[in-house]
Amino acid sequence: MLPTTPAPLFRRILSQGMAVFNRCGSTERRLCDNILDMRRFLAVYLAFLVFLIGLATAGGLYLFRETGPSDPIEAAADAHAYNVLSWEIRHLPTKWLYKLGHLFDSRSQWKEEEILRRYFSLTREIRQLERDPEAGPQLEAAQDQRSRLENAVEDILEGRITALLEEQGLVINPPLFSELNLVFPPVDFELDSPPQVLAVSPRDHIELDHSYLLAPGLNLATVVDIEKDAEATTSEGRGVSAVVLPTGGVATYPSVVSELAPYESLIEDIIHEWLHQYLVFFPLGRSYFADRETRTLNETVASLAGRELARLFSERYGSPLPVLSEVEGPPSPPSTAPSSGFDFAAEMRALRQRVEELLASGQIDAAERLMNEKRDEFERHGVYIRRINQAYFAFHGSYADTPASIDPIGPKLGELLRCAGSPWEFIRLASQLTSEADLDRLLAEG
C-alpha cells in the first residue's frame, strides 16, 4: 500500500536537507555522507508512514471484527457494513498521486482564502439544495464544482493545521534534523461521507456492548429495520437496545471526515481524528480497546484537546465564510440549536441521571417511556434527536465531556486541562494515562 506524502511536510524536509548540506562543507566525502543520511531519514520516514497506514487499517478491521456485535446482531447489519479496507484502497492512490503531482506548488494566502471560501460556500449551497426534491441538475452542478476543489482544500487545511500543531509544540526532531519540528503522524484526511455506527447496549443498564460501523447514507427505513432486527436478538439472555448514529469522522489513515460539516466543526473533527492517530504511540492510545474506561479517557482527551486546538486555529485563521444571519437561517435540517431559555445540557444530564436510577431499580419500561417523552420535549424546544435510548447514552457516554454523559472522567479531564495551561501539556500528561485511577493520582500531584 502506497504511503501518503503531504506536500507542505516534504517541502520542509527538502528545505531542511539543503540547509544541512550547505553547512557541511564542500568535500565530496562529507556531501555523500549527508546525502546518505538524508536518504536514510526519508526511508525511515516513509517506512513509518507505511506502518501507520497499516496500523490504522488493522485497527479499523479490528474494530470491524472484534468489537462488532455478536453474531445475531451482526447478521442484522452485515449487508450494510462499512468496509475500511475497501475505503483505503479507493482513496489512498488518488490522495498520493495528487500530493506527488503538487509537491512544489505554492499558493498565496489570498488564493488559499479564495479556494476555501468557494468550497465552503458550495458546501452550504449543497446542504440547502439537498432539501429540495426538484434541485437535481443544480445540485449535481454544485457537487461537481466542489469536487474539483476538494484536493486543494484538503492540502490547505492540512498545511494550516500542521502549522498550528508545530506552534503548539506537538512535534518531534529526528537526528540530523534538529530544526525540522516534524508533526507525526502527518495531518492527512479525506473529505467524504463518514460511516454511521450501530451502537448496542443491554436494556437493563447502560453499557456499550458493541459498536459496528455501517455504510453512510442509509435511508431512514433501512436504519429502522437494522435497529429492529438488532433489538429482536438477545445478548447473554437479556434484551438489547440499539440505535444507528452518525459519526463526524473515523481515524483511519487518512482519516475520513464529513464533507458536509460546517467549517468550524470540520476543523475540530480533523484535529480530533489526528489526536487519535497521535495517541496510538502512547499508553492511552495503545490501550483504547482495553475496556470502557480507557475508551472514555481516549475519546474525552481527543474531544477536549481537539476543541481547544480548534479554538486556537480559529483565532489564527478566522473563517472563510461570514456567520449566517437569522434571516438566512441554518443550512441543515432539523435544528440542533435549543430555543431561548432552554438549557439542553442540564436537561440531558438530568435525563441520563434519572434513567440510570430507573434502570437500577428494574423499571426498564418506565425508563424507556421517559426517554421517549424527553425526546419529544427536546424537539419542541428545537433540538432534534431521532431516538434516545440506552444505546444512545452508551455510545455518547464514551465522550465524557458531553451532556449525554454523567461520567466523572469528563470534569476530571477538564480540570487537568485547566491545570496544564496549554493543549500541548494537557496532551503530554493525558497520553500516559490508562485508567481513571491514573488520572486521580495525576490530579492529586497537582
Q: What is the pLDDT of residue 142?
A: 93
Whether residues 269 and 313 share a domain: the answer is no
Q: At what angle do helices 409-420 and 436-444 cross, to 10 degrees?
A: 40
Query: Hey, what amino acid is at 87?
Result: W
| Position 288 in a domain | no
Q: What is the pLDDT of residue 132?
A: 87
Mean pLDDT of 237-262: 89
- Predicted confidence band of residue 39 (pLDDT cuts 50, 70, 90): low
- Predicted confidence band of residue 87 (pLDDT cuts 50, 70, 90): confident
| Position 11 in a domain | yes
Mean pLDDT of 207-213: 89
Which three cell numbers, joined as nine digits, stand for 370? 421517559
Whether residues 111 and 234 share a domain: the answer is no
| Position 386 in a domain | yes
- Predicted confidence band of residue 182 (pLDDT cuts 50, 70, 90): confident
Specify the residue for cell string 500516559: 432
Cα–Cα dist 220/226, whole Å: 10
Cα–Cα dist 146/156, whole Å: 15
Cα–Cα dist 359/365, whole Å: 9
Q: What is the pLDDT of residue 67?
A: 45
CA distances from 245 to 18, 160, 365, 391, 406 (A): 49, 30, 22, 10, 20
Q: How many CA atoms lie within 13 A of 157 on its CB side?
A: 30
**Mean of pLDDT over the chain:** 81
Whether residues 187 and 315 share a domain: the answer is no
Q: What is the model's pTM?
A: 0.80
> Could you give the angle at the alpha carbon of 150 between the alpha carbons of 127 and 87, nearest 5°?
90
Instruction: Please tell me the least confidently modeled range out of 79-93, 221-235, 283-297, 381-395.
Output: 79-93
- Predicted confidence band of residue 106 (pLDDT cuts 50, 70, 90): confident
Q: What is the DSSP string of 359-376?
A: HHTT-HHHHHHHHHHHHH
Q: What is the pLDDT of residue 78?
A: 80
Residue 106: which residues within 8 A CB-CB, separation 6 or more? Answer: none
Whether residues 210 and 333 share a domain: the answer is yes
| Position 286 in a domain | no
| Position 291 in a domain | no
The string of pLDDT tens digits covering residues 240-252 is 999 999 998 998 8
Residue 437 has pLDDT above 60, yes or no: yes
Buried b (16+ CB within 10 A) or exposed e, 30-66: eeeebeebbeebeeebeeebeebbeebbebbeebbee
Whether residues 175 and 210 share a domain: the answer is no
Q: What is the pLDDT of residue 171?
A: 86
Which three cell numbers, joined as nine digits, stand for 318? 478566522
Whether residues 337 and 395 share a domain: the answer is yes
**Helix, strand, or coil (residue 234):** strand
Q: What is the pLDDT of residue 73?
A: 72
Whether residues 320 and 356 share a domain: the answer is yes
Residue 314 has pLDDT above 80, yes or no: yes
Cα–Cα dist 38/40, whole Å: 5
**Helix, strand, or coil (residue 201):** strand
Whether residues 211 and 277 share a domain: the answer is no
Run of H or E including 197:
strand 196-202
Q: What is the pLDDT of residue 164?
A: 96
> Could you give the angle at the alpha carbon of 308 between the alpha carbons of 303 and 311, nearest 5°?
125
* Residue 218, domain extent: 196-251+299-444
| Position 56 in a domain | yes
Residue 182: which residues within 8 A CB-CB, separation 6 or more? Answer: 9, 12, 171, 172, 173, 174
Whether residues 33 and 128 share a domain: the answer is yes
Specify the residue for cell string 495525576: 442
- Predicted confidence band of residue 199 (pLDDT cuts 50, 70, 90): very high
| Position 52 in a domain | yes
Q: What is the pLDDT of residue 25?
A: 46
% of residues, the chain, pLDDT over 90: 54
Whether residues 348 and 398 share a domain: the answer is yes
Listed in sequence order, the DSSP H helices in 23-108 are 28-65, 71-77, 84-101
What secondary structure, in 3-state letters, does 253-318 show? CCEEEECCCCHHHHHHHHHHHHHHHHHCCCHHHHCCCCCHHHHHHHHHHHHHHHHHHHHHHHHHHC
Mean pLDDT of 29-43: 49
- Predicted confidence band of residue 83 (pLDDT cuts 50, 70, 90): confident
Cα–Cα dist 241/317, whole Å: 43
Q: What is the pLDDT of residue 3?
A: 33
Of 289, 202, 195, nearest in space to 242 by CA: 202
Residue 234 has pLDDT above 50, yes or no: yes
Instruction: Please tell me the least confidently modeled range out of 6-10, 49-53, 80-84, 278-282.
Output: 6-10
> Could you give the angle at the alpha carbon of 381 between the alpha carbons of 131 and 126, nearest 5°?
20
Which three cell numbers, joined as nine digits, stand for 209? 456492548
Q: What is the pLDDT of residue 148?
A: 93
Whether residues 126 and 226 share a domain: the answer is no
Mean pLDDT of 326-347: 61
Whether residues 134 and 212 share a domain: the answer is no
The string of pLDDT tens digits covering residues 115-162 is 999 999 999 999 899 888 888 889 999 999 999 999 999 999 999 999
Tally of domains in the chain: 2
Which three cell numbers, joined as nine digits, stand for 30? 562529507
Cα–Cα dist 274/256, whole Å: 10
Q: What is the pLDDT of residue 21?
A: 42
The string of pLDDT tens digits covering residues 315-326 is 999 988 765 443
| Position 224 in a domain | yes
